[in-house]
Structure 1
Amino acid sequence: MTIPDSRFPASGFSATDHALMARALRLAERGAYTTRPNPMVGCVIARGDEVVGEGWHQRAGGPHAEVFALRAAGERARGATAYVTLEPCAHHGRTPPCVDALVDSGVARVVAALRDPFLTVNGAGFDRLRAAGIDVAFGLLEAQARELDRGFLSRIERGRPWLRVKLAMSLDGRTALGNGESKWITGEAARADVQRWRARAGAILTGSGTVLADDPRLTARVPDADIAPPLRVVLDRHLRTPAAANLLDGSVPTLCFHAASATPDARFARVECEPLPQGTGGLSLAVALEHLAARDIGEVQVEAGPTLAGALFAQGLVDELLLYVAPVLLGSDARALLALPPLTDMADRWRLRMVDERRVGDDWRVRCLTA
């Protein structure tokens, strides 16, 4: 299928276009905790600079953003412009195609931030709108829209989730005392911030070493927020997780990856177990991510020790580093941030691109991308 490219340069959109698409992106983000595995989408219906309807995709399986916005606009949608953060769907899924609702409403123009790469959409929505005589343009605030839906796009375009590694360290780059004690390096505000990042992830991944050392719950706890619980995932090659571990309590969906030679016993009765092939130094991390993508997981947050986190970096599987830095010193006997292979040439160092830094309580949060 040949898709005419109606992407405009930034100068092709008005200041009003920019402002209303920015509004649609803010609306989309309201679905961060509940739309998985669907993308976050926002929609604004406007006549000139007057907003007559708006909405966002609130929950997977529920109406899409365009439907909510059109309901709010009513008859005032006729002749208006619809600003939507992702190409409207053109297929029947759990809900009818959004392009049909837009065509029936009589909107004159649709501006989208992104073309949807999902196989059953991927330009078909734009084609249907144009065939109905609706003016279509896309590419407005595309970078911001890609950032918002990075997990969905990663799963569709690369066949694996977006992988975020969360770490906390002291100013001297340490994560725990020499005896393993690590609670708490950062303060309460930083720990609450981590919960919000957990809540937007489709899965939270850890290793059996962290389970044995810290017995984490790996649940997302954000007060007064509606959250679809992320899948808890543990890499436990030899099934060492003890029966009393929090991860085996059955409170939220949990998946245990293990070696094919290991057989789950009664300890794992309330969790799902899946064998993985052997990889470099343990279970195949790349295959684990492929399996999670096949389960429609778009974002994975890793909360693990230096061995697993270092292996993910060394194998080029990390997309984002979420690093909390506390204004404390732990000394030279404390444990290092990452276990990485030694380098002999500075040209081989791992390069990160800082995209955000801010103070969170008494600590600093730094976000870096690997590419």
Structure 2
Amino acid sequence: MARALDLARRGPVHGPNPRVGCVLLAAPGAAAGAPRTAPEGPGGGGSRTGESGPVPGARVLGEGWHRGAGTPHAEVAALADARARGLDVRGATAVVTLEPCDHTGRTGPCSVALLEAGVARVVVAVPDPNPAAAGGAARLRAAGVEVVLGVEEAAGRALLGPWLVAVERGRPHVTLKLAATLDGRVAAADGSSRWITSPEARAHAHALRGEVDALVVGTGTALADDPALTARGADGALAPHQPLRVVVGARDLPAGGRLAGPGGDVLHLRTRDPREALAALHAREARRVLVEGGPTLAAAFLRAGVVDEVHAYVAPVLLGAGRSAVGDLGIGTIGDALRLRTREVRPLGPDVLVVADVEEEER
């Protein structure tokens, strides 16, 4: 399963589909002829630095991972890898990080593909929470295939991360990004804000943009800052993946400006309701959303209880006055404060990134 998880990590972080990996193992006592280790093949076998590597002591028939929407799922990729090697998978065990799907979407059901290939046993890390795709384990069991669920489930759930949250909650996973001074300001008294954080912090933020499906700002930020809302590399070039650029609010946007330039598609949602905005993005299969500002929009998403995690870039800068990072939350006493659970603290040049989860009971 550790190897399957490593393979899954090769898939794209963004997009509507989960990252899934699969390893096919020969049946115990099967005739020799399958390699004990898995050389690089069409399904994506082999090992990389920092990965678990081929399965020790096991005869690996094939490996695969999901490369993104519209491409073969991990199980089908692993079966194709085995066929390309000329290996027979009848009676094999499929070790897969997510329950094989049982529906026809952009591709066919993996449960049927495994049955038709003659796989005898399926070991799964995480049951599929998506009602549209679940049922693979039940179909396999009904056909006489042994199915084992929950192997390394915690590691599997951690890998699925935002996708799992989005499917379970019926809305995109929301990361709120804040970039502020040590005293919590996002702009000076005269409105100037470039640059509070360092180049290192801004580079990290651009990398995060390249991992999400949609980037959200309010009309106030769009009109005042004229942002491009693009993901760029260290050299300033556009990243391979560009998120959908979303502006929330009733005011009209100017015809020109940087939003008219290169980047992801632009979507103007004429609403002030975060839940309504997220419903629209969910309908477009956005699984991971990054909310970047400003303070009014940040407060609105927090008040609505739809923020899952906060990325706070904090610079060792003091202003003493100016706009706060977050607008009014309607909290009047310290006992009602929204307290987060810190997951990571990372130095970025002179700045610090604090990654914190919003606990479900706080929503």
Q: TM-score range by the shorter chain?
A: 0.7 to 0.9
1:176-226 Cα distance to aligned partner (Å, 9 max, x none): 222222222222222222222212211110011111222111122347998
- The letter for the 1-side match of 2:146 is D
Tell me the CA shift for residue 159 of structure 1: 2.1
Q: Alpha carbons of 1:316 and 1:131: their partners in 2 closer, same or farther (altered >3 Å)?
A: same
1:140-170 Cα distance to aligned partner (Å, 9 max, x none): 3333333433443344332211111011122
Q: Alpha carbons of 1:210 and 1:115: their partners in 2 closer, same or farther (altered >3 Å)?
A: same
Corresponding residue for residue 80 of structure 2: 71
Does the 8 Å CA contact 1:161/1:293 hold for their aligned counterparts?
A: yes
Q: Secondary structure at the residue paired with 1:85?
A: strand
Corresponding residue for residue 217 of structure 2: 206
Distance 2:350 2:159 in 1: 27
* Residue from 58, 66, 73 that aligns with 2:67: 58
Does the 8 Å CA contact 2:212/2:288 hold for their aligned counterparts?
A: yes
Corresponding residue for residue 5 of structure 2: 25
Q: Alpha carbons of 1:32 and 1:359: their partners in 2 closer, same or farther (altered >3 Å)?
A: farther
The question of 1:180 aligning with 2:191 is answered yes
Q: Alpha carbons of 1:182 and 1:237: their partners in 2 closer, same or farther (altered >3 Å)?
A: same
More helix by share: 1
Q: Alpha carbons of 1:172 and 1:137: their partners in 2 closer, same or farther (altered >3 Å)?
A: same
**After the TM superposition, which of the residue ranges 205-214 and 129-138 deviates more from structure 2?**
129-138
TM-score when normalising by structure 1? 0.79
Q: Alpha carbons of 1:345 and 1:236: their partners in 2 closer, same or farther (altered >3 Å)?
A: closer
* Residue from 242, 246, 260 that aligns with 1:229: 242
Does the 8 Å CA contact 2:189/2:322 hold for their aligned counterparts?
A: yes
Distance 2:19 2:331 in 1: 40
* Residue from 260, 283, 299 that aligns with 1:310: 299
Q: How do 1:34-183 and structure 2 match up within 5 A?
A: 36-47=15-26, 49=56, 50=58, 51-74=60-83, 75=87, 77-122=89-134, 124-183=135-194
Q: How do 1:317-356 and structure 2 match up within 5 A?
A: 317-326=306-315, 328-341=316-329, 343-356=331-344
Corresponding residue for residue 200 of structure 2: 189
1:320-354 Cα distance to aligned partner (Å, 9 max, x none): 1011122x222211332211235333221102111
- The letter for the 1-side match of 2:16 is P
Q: Secondary structure at the residue paired with 2:179?
A: strand
Corresponding residue for residue 267 of structure 1: none
Q: Alpha carbons of 1:90 and 1:171: their partners in 2 closer, same or farther (altered >3 Å)?
A: same
Does the 8 Å CA contact 1:155/1:162 hold for their aligned counterparts?
A: yes
**After the TM superposition, which of the residue ranges 293-302 and 133-142 deviates more from structure 2?**
133-142
Q: Alpha carbons of 1:295 and 1:99: their partners in 2 closer, same or farther (altered >3 Å)?
A: same
TM-score when normalising by structure 2? 0.81
**CA-based RMSD:** 2.4
Distance 1:110 1:158 in 2: 27
The unaligned stretches of length 5 or more in structure 1 are: 1-20, 259-275, 277-282
Q: Alpha carbons of 1:340 and 1:144: their partners in 2 closer, same or farther (altered >3 Å)?
A: farther
Tell me the CA shift for residue 172 of structure 1: 2.4
Distance 2:238 2:245 in 1: 19
- The letter for the 1-side match of 2:244 is L
Distance 1:360 1:45 in 2: 41
Q: Alpha carbons of 1:356 and 1:253: their partners in 2 closer, same or farther (altered >3 Å)?
A: same
Distance 2:215 2:181 in 1: 23
* Residue from 233, 253, 256 that aligns with 1:244: 256
Distance 1:109 1:350 in 2: 47
